[in-house]
Amino acid sequence: MIRTHTFPNGFKYIHQPVGHSLPMTTFFVFIKMGSIHENEPYKKGITHFIEHMCFKGTTRNPTPFDIITTYDDRGAYFNAETHRQYTCYKVKCMDHFIEPCLKTLADMLFHSVFKKKEMDLERHVVLEENIRADDNPLTHIEDAIYKDLYADTPYSDPIDTLDYHKSPQSLPLKDVVQLYREYYRPDNMGISVVSNLPFTTIKHLLEHSTFMTRSKTPSPTLCLETIPRNHPNIQYKIIRKKGVQATHISLSFRTCPHHHEDVYPLLLLKNIIGGYMSSRLFMLLREKHGLTYTSTARSIHHASSGHFEIYTLCDPSKTLRNKSKPGVLPLLLQLLNDLVEHGITQKELTSTKGYFQGQMTLSMEQGQTKSTYNGIEYILYDKTDITPYEKVFKTHVEPVTKDIIHQVIRRYFHPANMFVCLVGEHAPDVEAVQRYCRHFSIDG
């Protein structure tokens, strides 16, 4: 049973039993601060940097070693992630270690000291992380998708990038500390717990922790959600990346927000197109034509919009080819045309529902799945009528019909929503890609 509570200082708490007998507790703290809350150019990347700096020392734990050993000495998992809408700190530990793990995390989130020496060191670490990301073609595809499909919204900017750190004005100490204090406050965050420890036991620990701090500053101004603008037809981006031998191909479509009724039909469609070994992408590109090793699809949703992506990579010589021997891009367009015209089969729907149910059941062994789901629903989106994760299939997935999925395909898979991105040293030029796209009815 899911139980929730909001403390007098505004801090949110959601709890659910883990569902097995292992003495493990997972707790994620969600903070409503992500890259969409950044504005002036010199503040870009600041949310990600604050996440890093919270590991660098507090008034109670003055060094990174003091913080890290709290978790290492107990064999606990501890990590953090910065997203566009939020920052999340993740802990998984044995039940009897929850108190020190919880108290240390609370100390980090409210009492980090931001020493100049540590900041100077961590700048280099963040730069190294961004250098690694810059080497990854998927980073460039994701940034391009957000820049195009989320144009004129705060989502269009990257979470972090090398360009953010080129200016000598980037990440000034006073702005880092100011935004940390402005957003890292109990009424702007909450904790999602999955544990066999009782709701009241953890509530008592929270009541006697630093999470009960009362904020002395006004609440931050959260991002004003705006709807991305439409284009009249397909948009294109070719990124020539030296040293990337394969050509990475991404076809994406603007879709719907997080709580829209089309979310679960799109998730089923994601599996049918590229979610498993009998998916359309796998069978068409790999088994029938021997063109690719990796192909996938994903469906992403935010507060005001979302997108659906089809992705694969191949030898550059196999990207286009000719009419008698079609390459990867023409075959992807044929696949889309077939979906728009004919939809999916009943056999595909039955198969993907079985896959979806099986994957959800397997994931329920992990506290991380429920912690993420509950935290996003209750803390990030302030939803109170939460469908428990174990009932999602029966409530939202099982009722989806073949006709519903076909309606969803036709609603989103059209030129005004479409973005084509290719990355690689030998990627074809944009005119060639446009010619192939115009050859198919997907582009009118």
Global pTM value: 0.94
Looking at the predicted structure, is the pLDDT value of residue 19 above 70?
yes
Quote the mean pLDDT of the chain.
93
- Per CATH, the architecture of 235-443 is what? 2-Layer Sandwich (3.30)
Same topology between domain 3-212 and domain 235-443: yes
- Rg of the chain in Å (alpha carbons): 23
Residue 201 is predicted with a pLDDT of: 97
pLDDT digits over 211-248, tens only? 999 887 777 766 666 667 677 789 999 999 999 999 99
Least confident of 19-28, 210-219, 247-256, 346-355: 210-219
What is the CATH architecture assignment of 3-212? 2-Layer Sandwich (3.30)
Give the 3-state DSSP-derived string for the chain, with helices as H, strands as E and coil as C: CCEEEECCCCCEEEEECCCCCCCEEEEEEEECCCHHHCCCHHHCCHHHHHHHHCCCCECCCCCHHHHHHHHHCCCCEEEEEECCCCEEEEEEEEHHHHHHHHHHHHHHHHHECCCHHHHHHHHHHHHHHHHHHHCCHHHHHHHHHHHHHCCCCHHHCCCCCHHHHCCCCCCCHHHHHHHHHHHCCHHHEEEEEECCCCHHHHHHHHHCCHHHCCCCCCCCCCCCCCCCCCCCCCEEEEECCCCCCCEEEEEEEECCCCCCCCHHHHHHHHHHHHCCCCCHHHHHHHHHCCCCCCEEEEEEECCCCEEEEEEEEECHHHCCECCCCECHHHHHHHHHHHHHHHCCCHHHHHHHHHHHHHHHHHHCCCHHHHHHHHHHHHHHCCCCCCCCHHHHHHHHHCCCCHHHHHHHHHHHCCHHHEEEEEECCCCCCHHHHHHHHHCCHHHC
Using the predicted structure, report yes or no on whether residue 444 has a pLDDT greater than 50.
no
pLDDT given for residue 275 in this prediction: 92
Cβ–Cβ < 8 Å for 368, 92: yes
Could you tell me the two tokens for 356?
A: 């979806």
Which pLDDT value is given to residue 188? 96
Count other C-beta atoms under 10 Å from residue 432's C-beta.
14
Structural domain boundaries of the chain? 3-212, 235-443
